[in-house]
Amino acid sequence: MNDYVVEAKSVEKKLGRGAGEVHALRGIDLSLRRGELTLLMGPSGSGKTTLLLVLGCMLTPNSGSVTICGTPTADADKEALARIRREHIGFVFQSYHLFPTLTATQNVQLALDIRGEHGRRAAEKSREALAMVGLEQKVDSLPGGLSGGEQQRVAIARALVANPSVVLADEPTGALDGKNGQSIMRILAETAHERERAVLVVTHDPRVVPYADRIVEIEDGLIVQEPTDRPRMPTAVPFRA
Amino acid sequence: MSLVLTLASRNLFHDRLRFVATMVGIVFSVVLVMIQMGLFLGFGRMVTTMIDNASADLWILPKGAKCFEDPSLLDVKLRDRVATMEGVSWAAPLVIGFSDWRLESGEVTPVFIVSADLRDGSLQPFNVVDGNVPALTQGANVAVDRSYFERLGVSGVGSTAEIRGRKVRVVAVTDGIRSFATTPYVFVDLKNARNYTGTPRDRASSVLVRLKDDADREKALSAIRAEVGDAEVLTSDDFRSRSRSFWLFGTGAGAALFAGALLGVIVGTVIVAQTLYSSTKDHLNEFATLRAMGSSNAYIYTVIIYQALINAVIGFAIAAGIGSIVVQMTAKSALPIVITPWLMAALFALTVVMCVASGIGAIIRVVRIDPATVFMR
Ligand SMILES: Nc1ncnc2c1ncn2[C@@H]1O[C@H](COP(=O)(O)OP(=O)(O)O)[C@@H](O)[C@H]1O
Ligand SMILES: [Mg+2]
């Protein structure tokens, strides 16, 4: 038993077919630990999203292995991979991907609903998750009535509400201004440190660097800089947008 | 309300125009099927109305007679032989056939004569709303249905007309005895029926038999069969289904009604499948997000099936409303549309099946989404 909740070994991934085939990942070793926020940085097209999707069991590698919370994913079919995501992983996307016809609470509650948690208790938990990201005033708003930063916070609440061991965020601050970006990063850092989750944030935004416990750089499908441990940022400061 | 239901209904109502198109498709389809099947039932009921209302257990018919209106004849002596057999309570000859009715205005219209045998109590005018049925046995009296008043140029009891040159008087009025061929039924006494239809004295269209209550029905039936030789002996049930299948399937009328209904089902399914599919395509990103969040395929199917079911329930409710208006409108027409609770239940089941089947295309589309591609854009 170790601290690693995600372990990727020698992961290779090719995308596209025929002449359009791209060797997006060329042998990646990366592990994510509880209580740690890892930044995955690199130029556009370097394979960051591909790696995040492989680690998140949304893409299966062509070779190499991915283990989530001790469960190897090699033999899992689509449905089994969905179950692993359901049990262990929370996603945050650059473009939020909220359901436009559902309220903030309902959006969050969906993450519980797909896990078989229904009813009042689930709605209650969802409102608590929204309060944790500072949105107690917006629980009944539709995404269309929320700012980008608020929408991303709903998305984070949705990713966290079912207590996943791993949170994978793809450019979560990419569409946000500085202040909103800061508050999103604070929530993610707090998630890592206080809730003891493994958090991976894909970014090429240098402003988020101070929140990282570890930075991994990727270029052309390869990790070019071995993970560096950094001093931990204090995150107990309350954040409000 | 459960979240899946909420999501399904929001998906549906989000695009109003598409929802309206879906409803039009379902309502059109269900109303079409309802009317076709209602006609089928109305028709089926109408073609057996005489058989239903005769108090006979058995019908002795000329060989090969296909329905109540069949013009073939048999030897009336059969009646006397059968009447005295063991287990038989009574046997009565029935004479039917076309004749001409001359209105007081001089106009002539065809009518369908039915002999009423009051003495033996076989087939008599039913649903009598006015007049005196026993008076049929006297003189040239007739009973007619009030839905044909205008056609027959009469206004009720006491009105007169002519059949084959003989003056007749209306002594009884029935309500709702309509014939499929739209030729008015006219009840007369047996002797008059022979005159009006030109049926010889030794012939009859059929013989109705009533068995004694304590008779061994199987035994009596086979004994009568043996006695009547060439003629056929049918129970009322058998005769009913033979008439029905002759009119509904022998004539192609039933097949046409079913073809219309099938067409309705196909058109409805195609329209609903199309709108569900395009709705699903519009929400593909959301379904991919659900899948990325780790939802099972079953959960996603549930959303689509719920959409289908909401369509079915709302569409059916509207269709049922329209259907009940149609039923009321046709109630007094030549061919009333009959909608029974069973037909309603079957139509609801059909609507549900149709809508859920329509969801299959959408489901196949959704299974094919790879959530990864959505997030690489
Ligand atoms: N579906 C695809 N088919 C072919 N090539 C793809 C596909 N998706 C991404 N790629 C390519 O794979 C490489 C890695 O992409 P990606 O992981 O999205 O990079 P990043 O997130 O770092 O910008 C890029 O060269 C990109 O063009
Ligand atoms: Mg990317």
| Per-residue pLDDT at A236 exceeds 60 | no
Residue in chain B closest to A94 (alpha carbons) equals B375
Ligand 1 closest atom vs CA A50: 17
What pLDDT is recorded for position B377? 65
The predicted-structure confidence for A82-101, as pLDDT tens digits, reads as follows 999 999 999 999 889 999 99
Q: Does A31 touch chain B (CB under 8 A)?
A: no
CA distance B376 to A59: 11
* pTM (two decimals): 0.80
Q: Is residue A43 within 6 Å of ligand 1 at its C-beta?
A: no
How high is the ipTM of this complex?
0.90
Q: Is residue B293 within 6 Å of ligand 1 at its C-beta?
A: no
> Mean per-residue pLDDT for B117-131?
83
The predicted-structure confidence for B193-238, as pLDDT tens digits, reads as follows 999 999 999 999 999 999 998 989 889 999 999 988 889 999 999 9
Residues of A in Cβ contact (< 8 Å) with B291: 82
Q: Does A53 touch chain B (CB under 8 A)?
A: yes
What contacts B333, CB < 8 A, 6 or more positions away?
none
Token pair, residue B372, equals 């990864």
> Mean per-residue pLDDT for A206-232?
84
The pairing of beta strand A63-68 with beta strand A4-15 = antiparallel
The predicted-structure confidence for A139-172, as pLDDT tens digits, reads as follows 999 999 999 999 999 999 999 999 999 999 999 9
CA distance B58 to B92: 11
Q: Which pLDDT band, with edges at 50, 70 and 90, does A240 fall under?
A: very low
CA distance B366 to B82: 71
In order of A46, B26, B244, B357, the CA distances from B343 in angstroms are: 64, 17, 18, 20
What pLDDT is recorded for position A104? 97
- CATH number of the domain at A34-57+70-225, out of 2.60.120.260, 2.60.120.380, 3.40.50.300, 3.30.565.10? 3.40.50.300
| Per-residue pLDDT at A113 exceeds 60 | yes
Pocket test residue of A49, A52, A203, A219 for ligand 1, highest count of atoms within 8 A of CB: A49
**Percent of chain A, pLDDT > 90?**
80
In order of A4, B27, B315, the CA distances from B347 in angstroms are: 58, 12, 11
Instruction: Say which residue, A175 or B145, is predicted with more confidence.
Output: B145
**Mean pLDDT: which of A214-223, B120-129, B366-375 is highest?**
A214-223
Q: Which pLDDT band, with edges at 50, 70 and 90, does A178 fall under?
A: confident
In order of A155, B43, B99, B168, B262, the CA distances from B150 in angstroms are: 75, 23, 18, 16, 37
> Hey, where are the domains in chain A?
34-57+70-225
